[in-house]
Amino acid sequence: MRKFLPPLNALRTFEAAARHRSFKRAGDELCVSHSAVSHQIKKLEQHLEVELFVRAAKGVVLSKAGQDYYPTIRAAFDRISDGTELILALKAPGIVTVQVYSTFATRWLIPRMSDFQNRFPDVMLRLHTSQSDVNFEHEDVDLCVMIGTPTHTDLHYDYLFSSRIFPICSPALANGDNSIESPNDLCRHNIIQVYPSDQDWRVWLEENHIHDVNPNSGLEFDSYELGWNAAAQGLGIALGMEPFVNRDLVSRSLVELFPGRRVFNHGDWYLACRSDNADNKEICVFRNWLLEEIRKDETMPQSRLLEEKIPD
């Protein structure tokens, strides 16, 4: 049940008038006339059914009730002011909150963050990892790295890259007693599934016309990072994703099972933010740096659109 509260505008006027001990100076602070202050004070007194000021020839002074009431109202407005400053500090200039997938953070972004800090020491990145996309209406996030398609008209999107997926496993599993020589052999092994992206295996199987493999027949993890670690331990066959497993393939901790059968995943990688924040200085600094780093990364897969233009 809501507690009894007087009109807030009248309370604000009372606090200013009591602090200044003057209706005129209160009006100057609030950018209203002397008569407007007097009207608000009268409205509050009628609401409370008590006299808060004693009118005199040379001005006004607080009544006994006003003297008792003023410290409480002053403390309440002080707390509101302190709380507001605390909230505004979270959005202080120079701080950019970026939500990314955990795999993108650990495998690609974090190794490059020292470069960003060295080049832009006045901009502080606040990273938030999640497997879900941002709801910009309800979450305190400035930018989001996402997989999908640009569908929201109130968001600004920057294309980052398109990624291909392909089966990978440990060398011991690939060359063991139950060796894997063709995609149909997958049905004899554990499939490592990343359940927030449970359509990825289906995309690869359908694109390669394989119908006898159940992608939900093995182990399930909540991130690709965990799935790849499990695959490196010989626990099953996972999906690799460009460019994040390149170093594992080079080191041979993981091997690609069927070279030449990589397929583009559904949805491309984008950097998204609210359209009304797209020109924010700090957001532009991070966006331009990220796009530059992606262009410099030779391991990044080429655009799906570019590949489609290449003749067979």
| Residue 206 forms part of a structural domain | yes
Structure tokens belonging to residue 14: 């009372």
- Residues 210 and 232: their CA atoms lie apart, in Å, by 24
Residues of the chain with pLDDT under 50: 1, 306, 308-312
Distance (Å, whole) CA 64 – CA 95: 48
- Residue 191, classed as helix, strand or coil, is strand
The SS3 call for residue 38 is: helix
Residue 251: burial class (beta carbons within 10 Å; 0-12, 13-18, 19+): exposed
Q: Identify the domain boundary among 54, 83, 112.
A: 83
Within a domain: residue 37? yes
Count up the domains in the chain and report the number.
3
Which of 264, 279, 300 marks a domain boundary? 264
Query: What CATH number does residue 281 fall under?
Result: 3.40.190.10
How many residues does the structure list for the chain? 312
Spatial separation of the C-alpha atoms in residues 146 and 220, rounded to whole Å: 21
Q: Is residue 2 part of a domain?
A: no
- Domain contains 90: no
**pLDDT of res. 308:** 47
Please give the Cα distance from 103 to 240 (Å, whole number).
12
Which backbone phi and psi does 166 adopt, to 5 degrees? -165, 150
Which secondary structure element, helix H or strand E, spans residue 26, and what is its range?
Answer: helix 23-30
Q: Quick check: helix, strand or coil at residue 284?
A: helix
pTM over 0.85: no
Q: Does one domain contain both 61 and 111?
A: no
237 shares a domain with 107: no
Neighbour tally for 219: CB within 10 Å? 16
143 shares a domain with 177: no
For residues 57 and 109, membership in a common domain is answered with: no
Q: In the prediction, which pLDDT does 246 show?
A: 92
Domain end call among 83, 117, 150 = 83
Same-domain pairing of 281 and 145: yes
Report whether 244 contacts 100 (CB < 8 A): no
Domain assignment of residue 20, given as a range:
8-83
User: Does 191 reside within a domain?
Assistant: yes
In tens, the pLDDT along 186-211 reads: 988 899 999 888 899 999 999 999 98
Claim to verify: residue 219 and residue 290 sit in the same structural domain: no
